[in-house]
Amino acid sequence: MKTTILVQWERVLAERVTLPQKNRWTRRAIAQFLGINRITVKNYAEVIAPVIRDYRQRIPKESGRFRTGYALDQYQFWVICKIAAFMQLLRADLNGSTYTKDAAQIIAKHQKYLSYEVFVYDTNMHSNSAA
């Protein structure tokens, strides 16, 4: 049973997505696009997503610390959308228990699906098929 769930999680993380293009995404715009709460987006952006090395490298710093409340770039938006889909599956599976730390651990182990390189490949695949 656990292996089946892991395969589903990997499928969600590996699935290609087509997203609207913007230079900067506010948490409000992301929440509106995904149909979720802004606090949830903040949690994804500031607690879960930073476990991904490529995401973490793109977070602006202020006095050596990560800045909070910054606008996300297109790659970071893509990561948040992937995390949102993953969390929806996880939430249904864990049925109400706290799962943020579990999700961060799983994403850290499978961050290859959320690398900047995969984002560029995914984006190019969609732009080539649209042409």
Q: If you write DSSP's letter for every residue of 32-98 in order, what string do you get?
A: HHHTS-HHHHHHIIIIIGGGSHHHHHTS-EETTEE-SSPPB-HHHHHHHHHHHHHHHHHHHHHTTS-
126 has pLDDT over 70 = no
Contact status, residue 5 vs residue 69, Cβ threshold 8 Å: no
Tens digits of residue pLDDT in 22-62: 889 999 999 999 999 999 999 999 989 999 999 999 998 88
What DSSP designation does 110 have?
Answer: T
The reported pLDDT for the residue numbered 1 is 39
Contact status, residue 114 vs residue 90, Cβ threshold 8 Å: no
* Dihedral pair phi/psi, residue 13, rounded to 5°: -70, -35
pLDDT band at 9 (very low <50, low <70, confident <90, very high): low
Domains of the chain, residue spans: 19-112
Global confidence as pTM: 0.82
